[in-house]
Structure 1
Amino acid sequence: MTISASPSPQQGASLNHRLHTFDFARGILIVLMVLVHVLDFYGSTETHESFIGSSINLLASWQVAAWFVFIMGMFITYTPHQPLAAGLKRAFGLFALGYLLNLTRGTIPMWLSLKNGLVTQAQLGSYTPTTEFFIVDILQFAGIALACCLLVKHFLPHPKYWFLSAFLVTFASPFIWDVSTGWGYIDGVLKLFNGNKYQGAMFPLFPWLAYPLVGMIFGYRLRKSSNIYDFFQKSFWIGIAIIAVGLPITITDTDYHMASNMRPGPGMIISLTGGALVFLWLCQRLTQGQNANRFVSLLCFWGRNVTTYYVIQWLLVGWGLMLVGAQQLPPFAAMSAMIAVMALSHIGVVIWLKVHNIRAMKLA
């Protein structure tokens, strides 16, 4: 990724550092996401109520997915222009990958686990192999949101329109939540846009689309900036100011703004948007002058291959259900499972990249 066709050495160094910051940020977020997934699938009630479970839920309950898609929106405007058709093709690929992942990480292993008596339906609650396939997870959302953001960027190529769009999504979304027709197939499509957790819509387009729309503004301003350190410092204070606006709004009606059905209200969206700016400032500070740090390099590697890592860790978690059962592990065992999933996901990414490179060389 480059800002211009032939950047000067100083510009190239600045660009590399900027990408280093976002790779590191995504690396941190993917670690937190693994912790949440393992906790939700494998952790017993005791584990969820323990210090470990409570800490993970506090650190990663809402902000991980919100900041992921904020960064996705940032890259839409930060990276060089790409044809609209190519971007829409990638969006469709993400959407289709979401359902393929549902099938391979959820439907098939859950069906086999039930068939072989490794888990019981009582342990799974309302989840079934069929409901697992139709879950609207972050990849389905990312595909639709990417298409929307690309179209907005193409037809309304100015940040003021992106801000207006994000404002409308934030405050108007509650008015279309749970609108239904009574027709099963149509309502199944509608839940992609306005569904809730209990319908299997973990990330409905409204209101989650607000995060990548604001991320587009951040990416646009970053690309225009000449001083990366000054830009992030200003972003930090802007983020603090946004949080100071969002938190009081949230406190006025916490049940509404901090909805437990995966549809945050305006107060939460505003607060987490400000939090994204503070988080990215912190990542920039941590990566400054740390190019040789192995820990930073590892997280950056995971961040650069975030989609591959995400898919592999979900396959491990889904098929691991046949080994450990659903929500059975005590705290220490759950922590061991988290470490194992992260390590095996890393190995999977390395193997995938080697196979991909070999195939590319043969094709060349």
Structure 2
Amino acid sequence: MTMSATSPMQDTQPVNERLLTFDFARGILIILMVLVHVLDFYGDTSTHESLVGSTIRLLASWQVAAWFVFIMGMFITYSGQQSLLTGLKRALGLFALGYALNIARGSIPMWLSLKMGLVTQEQLGSYTPTTELFVVDILQFAGLALACCLLIKHLFPAPKYWIGCALLVTFLSPYFWDITTGWSYPDEALKLFFGNKHQGAMFPLLPWLAYPLAGMVFGCWLKYSNNIQQFFKTSLWIGAALTATGTLLTMTNTDYHMASNMRAGPGMIISLTGGALVFLWLCQRVTQGQSANRFVSLLCFWGRNVTTYYVIQWLLIGWGLMLVGSQQLPQIAAVSAMLVVMVLSHFGVLLWLKVRTVRSMRVA
């Protein structure tokens, strides 16, 4: 990368219009996220096995979280400079928010639902208020990953090192999975790094760290690009090549390279990373010259407030168990619930922003 950050751009789009693509991308992923979360928590067996349920699974089961954290890594290097200490504080805040959300959206409503007889332990299976507290969800992962990425960026500022770290994580992670000591407290800490879905580790650091590391390279490349159109065309071809390479690699040993959607092997990680580049190219094509489009503007608004939207939709889904029960809704009711959660989450974000603005004005 020989271009300086201040080089004149051949493409006349300002920097904030560049970001429209990524806000829109996160908005699309938010829609898929709500669909799969509501399906998992509210849909009955027939809904899961229906065409609607199968389609949602196809669109959202592997890609959504991987592409979310890829974009997170991209913003680490693309956005404005911040001190290492400021970034690490934000990482700690995300990590703590993850456990606070576990209590608010999981442990408390589940405990109340059991006490009030709204759901039975048989319906919940192995899930209990205690297991919900210690779930390793994407916010815990995001906090750990952000800290790791910031430290790697600080210690090794060249993108070639980030690519090397991403490849190491991609190919070495399976050798570290499921490391345990047999002691409960150390194992609760270890599952943050090497755990599996059965332990409640939805997003262990290995292998998920590979996606934001790859995103850092993409963000740095974008930052010093002087032609957005050419940048996205090139990234499309690179993405297609990575997707094809990852798919072929996966076919050599499907069980090893696919593993599970919550803990993919090397082939699927490479394929999904390539898919992220293709997806972002599609988003750029849609948003090009569409800043006044209401649909694009709505999804960009959701994308800019992704953490707030994420927390609110989980609170709605978690407390909604007290109304509809666990995995009890037929297809039409489940689809209706998806729409309700999206709409209420939107107004929840608006309310939160208004409250925060009022508080800031009072402080000022």
Q: TM-score normalised by the shorter chain: which range applies?
A: over 0.9
Question: In 2 relative to 1, CA 266–339 (structure 1 residues): closer, same or farther, beyond 3 Å?
Answer: same
Mapped partners of 2:111, 2:283: distance in 1: 41
Note the C-alpha offset of 1:5.
11
- Aligned residue for 1:114, secondary structure, equals helix
Look up the SS of the partner of 1:157 in the other structure: coil
In the alignment, what sits opposite 1:194?
A: 194
Report the counterpart of residue 31 of structure 2 in structure 1.
31
After superposition, residues 87-236 of structure 1 pair within 5 angstroms as: 87-236=87-236
Q: Which 5+ residue runs of structure 1 have no aligned equivalent?
A: none
The equivalent residue for 2:22 is: 22
* Amino acid paired to 1:133: L
Describe the superposition over 1:159-207 as per-residue Cα deviations: whole angstroms up to 9, x where unpaired: 0000000000000001111111122111110000000000000000000
Moved beyond 3 Å, runs of 4+: 4-13
Are residues 7 and 96 of structure 1, via their aligned partners in 2, closer, same or farther at CA, if it must alter by over 3 Å?
farther
Task: Give secondary structure in 1 for the equivalent of 2:131.
Answer: helix
1:9 Cα offset (Å): 10
Could you state the TM-score of these two structures normalised by the residue count of structure 2? Answer: 0.97
CA positional deviation for 1:11? 8.0
- Given that 1:196 and 1:261 are in contact with CA atoms closer than 8 Å, whether structure 2 keeps it comes out as no
Aligned equivalent of 1:298? 298
**Cα distance in 2 between the residues matched to 1:221 and 1:7:** 14
Question: What SS does structure 2 have at the residue aligned with 1:222?
Answer: helix
Partner of 2:46: 46
Question: Could you say what secondary structure the match of 2:326 adopts?
Answer: coil
Q: In the alignment, does 2:70 pair up with 1:70?
A: yes
The answer to whether 1:318 aligns with 2:318 is yes
Aligned positions of 1:244-259 closer than 5 A: 244-259=244-259
How many residue pairs end up in the alignment? 361
Q: 1:235 to 1:7 in 2, by over 3 A?
A: closer
Preserved contact between residue 8 and residue 226 of structure 2 (Cα < 8 Å): no
Q: Distance in 1 between matches of 2:282 and 2:5?
A: 30
Which one-letter code corresponds to 1:267 in the other structure?
G
Per-residue CA deviations over 1:210-239 (Å, capped at 9, x if unaligned) read 000000000000000000111001000000
Measured after TM superposition, the shift of residue 81 of structure 1 is: 1.4
Q: Once the 2 structures are TM-superposed, how far is the Cα of residue 260 of structure 1 from its aligned partner?
A: 2.5
The one-letter code sitting in structure 2 at the alignment partner of 1:358 is: V
C-alpha distance in 1 between matches for 2:11 and 2:241: 30
Judge conservation of contact 2:5–2:224 (CA < 8 Å) in 1.
no
- Contact 1:198 1:261 survives alignment (8 Å): no
Secondary structure of the 1:82 match is coil
How far apart are 1:90 and its partner, in Å?
0.1
Structure 2: distance between partners of 1:332 and 1:242 = 38
Please, which runs of 5 or more residues in structure 2 have no aligned partner? none
How high is the TM-score relative to the length of structure 1? 0.97
**Deviations 1:129-180, CA, capped at 9 Å, x for gaps:** 0000000000000000000000000000000000000000000001111111
Q: Distance in 2 between matches of 1:60 and 1:41?
A: 15
Aligned position for 2:350: 350
Same amino acid, percent of matched pairs = 74
Aligned counterparts of 1:243 and 1:298: Cα–Cα separation in 2: 30
Q: Distance in 2 between matches of 1:45 and 1:260?
A: 21
User: What is the rounded CA distance, in whole Å, between the counterparts of 1:219 and 1:142 in structure 2?
Assistant: 17
**Equivalent AA in structure 1 for residue 90 of structure 2:** R
Q: CA RMSD of the aligned region, Å? A: 1.6
Q: Which amino acid aligns with 1:197?
A: K
- CA shift at 1:80, angstroms? 1.8
Aligned AA (1:218):
F
Aligned to 1:79: 79
Whole-angstrom distance in 1 between the partners of 2:260 and 2:321: 25
